[in-house]
Every structure is written in C-alpha cells, then in structure tokens.
Amino acid sequence: MQTHVIDIANDAPQSTGQRRLADLPDRVVSGDPHHDTEIQFTSPDGKLTAGTWTSTPGKWHAFTDKDEYCYIVSGHCALIHQDGTRREFREGASFFIPDGFVGFWEVIETTTKHFVIRDTK
C-alpha cells in the first residue's frame, strides 16, 4: 500500500491508459473523444483512485455509482445535468460530482484534469 504523499502533477503514474470513447457507443452523444489517463494511486480495495485525465472534444453520458472531485489543469469543459442545468469549467476550476448525478460531460476544448474518484458500488 502506498503510504507516501503523492504529487499527482509530477510523480510517475502507477499505470496509464488510452481509450477512444466511441468504443463504448452507448456513452457517446457527439464527437469522437479520446481519453488519456494516468493513475497515480489506487486504494487496496480498488474503490479510490487518483490521477490525471485528458480528453479531446466531445459529449457523452457521465458515469454513475461514483463520487468525483476534479481540478481543471487546462481546457474548457461543461457538465450538463439531465434537467438542462449547465456548469462550465476552465483552468483553475475545481468541482465535485456526487454519486447520483445524471447527465453529460462535454469537452469543448481539449481538457486535462486531476481527479479523485470513489467507487460507491
């Protein structure tokens, strides 16, 4: 188990991944977003993850069964609740998406964020 402080912006990741979201066609609403993810921490039970994520423009259904804290490093994105409420975020913004949020992610300009995700399942 990792017991040292982790510098998400500078420490080497534990793992990396790339995904074309169109490979999950039930999630994509528009565009062809590509995601690069670096995981700097995963808890022993796998329910808490921290890292860095970059996405190219597009819009997709947000995941559920998770709490997520985000800090936008660069770019421009929006979260759109199913009721139409839209919140836009740019470099320096931080926000929390609670479990139960139903809506969409929209990346307007390629966006990089640091994140902490807790799986609530």
76: tokens are 């421009």
DSSP 45: T
Res. 2 pLDDT band, cuts 50 70 90:
low
DSSP run (H or E) holding 42? strand 34-42
Domain residue spans in the chain? 16-119
Whether the per-residue pLDDT at 1 is higher than 80: the answer is no
pTM: predicted TM-score of the whole model, two decimal places: 0.92
Would you state the pLDDT for residue 57?
A: 98
Task: Give dist(CA 97, CA 87) in Å, integer.
Answer: 11
Could you list the beta-strand ranges (E) of the chain.
15-20, 28-31, 34-42, 48-55, 58-61, 66-81, 86-90, 94-97, 103-119
CATH topology of domain 16-119: Jelly Rolls (2.60.120)
The 10s digit of each residue's pLDDT in 56-97 is 999 999 988 999 999 999 999 999 999 999 999 999 999 999
